[in-house]
Amino acid sequence: MNLLLIGYGKMGRAIEAQALSRGHRIAGIVDPSRPEVGITDFSPAQADVAIEFTHPDSAFANVAACLRQGLPVVCGSTGWLHHFPEAQALSEQTGTPLFYASNYSVGVNLFFHFNEYIAAKMHQFGGYDVQVREIHHTQKVDQPSGTALTAAQGILRHFPAKTSWRNEAATEPHELAILSERTGTVVGTHIVTYTSAADSLELKHEAHTRDGFVQGALLAAEWLPGRHGVFGMQDLLGL
């Protein structure tokens, strides 16, 4: 496959290395460090899929440009989902597929799956409060993380006692606390904790390296061409 990389930070470089080892070709790299190259320089004739890992402020514009060019796009940037309905509409208008995940790790997506199951069971039996905690490196821009938000949304769907979230300690019983910490070089840790007077239960995912994210993004890029619509890791993994 011919891959267009949009963003050439830590994730972009890691994707490049693994893509080449899997026999793919890098058709181009779009990044502020290379201002002479832009998304509109590429069409489906040059690139089969674009993989976008940039910044919350630029992600939607990059995704929209890919869709208008007819380039299937795999996006891993977080913090831009207020524009997601526009991206969905543009995907439909152009007939170009979009794949979005807040986290591409297979392990994290199993974490999401089990998180919803546990939330439903905890609600069924009652007596527990719940909170989400996320820990990331100091260079992570968005807060809370996209992964923490996805976990929180899963809880809100299945634990009716919580009707909203806040990015600090909860002040009302209906609020789901998402506690964010930025420290050192932590790749990403997410913990959902249920607590009652009798006991506590934790569901935790800890990323040791970025390899899981990279592998998932490349699996999505290999899976996406020829499809129509908007997809996520549940579609890829059959969850």
Residues acting as catalytic residues: 136, 140
Tokens of 66: 């890919």
Contact of 176 with 132, CB cutoff 8 Å: yes
Residues linked to residue 132 through DSSP beta bridges, in sequence order: 178, 192
**Do 209 and 18 contact (CB within 8 A), yes or no?**
no
* Amino acid letter, 188: G
In single-letter form, the type of residue at position 120 comes to: A
> Of 204, 199, 190, which Cα lies nearest the Cα of 125?
199
Question: How far apart are the C-alpha atoms of 198 and 214, rounded to whole Å?
Answer: 40
The structure tokens listed for 135 are 């820990």
